[in-house]
Amino acid sequence: MTAVVDRLNTEKTSFSVEFFPPRGNDEERILWRAVRELEPLDPAFVSVTYGAGGSSRDRTIRTTGRIAQETTLTPMAHLTAVDHSVAELRNVIGWYAASGVHNVLAVRGDPPGDPNGEWLRHPEGLTYAEELVRLVRELGDFCVGVAAFPHGHPRSADLDIDVDYLVRKIHAGAGFAIAQLFLEPEYFLRLRDRMAARGCGVPLLPGVMPIITPRVLGKFSELAGVPVPSEVSEQLLPLTDDPAGFRSAGVDLVTRLCERLIAEGVPALHFYTLNRSKATRQVVADLGL
């Protein structure tokens, strides 16, 4: 077993990548092209999301297992409590272990159909991510990660309460955390400060995404849960009708963000790839990782 925390425990900043499960054969070919193109760069780990509301569970399990069995990469599975009984969660965790997957990102997950809707616990399920962390740790020798929110979780009253929940997940057995997307480094750095003030020193990875098209820029708001910063919009929106110019400016913007984060000592950069590799490979090369 190769644990994510061991892969992060190096003197040099590394990087990791996140994929989502393909919805059909064409998307699966695109995903595996990206996997093979990134494999020689030796990312610290690769993760596969569970999909909105746990809807893509089977493809997530199958894709993560295939990465474990057919590549040299270190895979990390996503796991959510959405619409799952504890018995079902135990089965999924057992399948991961049998497939050689021993790194899990444990998140509560969003309500099916409406990420901002009311959370409804499965009658025989779990309510909080910290409970899911404990369950995974109880069932085997797993390295568990959790989600962190630089802008605060949408349901948290304020940033201090939000980080209290994060620390509880760490105390439940998580060994690292991955931050949701952001484009302003101060939000991430202040989150790290709040963790340190509570004596919580586990690795915190920033979530970044190369902004290569207007569609991807719009995707940022959806994934981060906050508006695009005005200075970013002012820089990129005038280039909407210039695809090459937009891509160049967007990649440069994210590269400069990563440079700031590396200067601040992050252990790794976590790239949301949207199942493509070219822009991520370009940023990684420009950073010398």
> Catalytic amino acids?
18
Compute the distance between CA of residue 176 and CA of residue 142 in angstroms, rounded to an integer: 12
- Where do we find the tokens 């959790």? 146
R_g of the chain, CA atoms, integer Å: 18
Phi–psi pair at 267, nearest 5 degrees:
-75, -30
Give the number of other Cβ atoms within 10 Å of residue 157's Cβ.
9
Read off the amino acid at residue 116. Answer: N
Closest CA to 132 of 170, 81, 94, 78: 81
Say if CB 28 and CB 22 are below 8 A apart: yes
What's the distance, Cα to Cα, between the start and end of the chain in Å?
24
Question: Cβ distance 86 to 124 under 8 Å?
Answer: yes
DSSP readout, 215-227?
HHHHHHHHHHSSP
Distance CA 206, CA 20 (A): 18
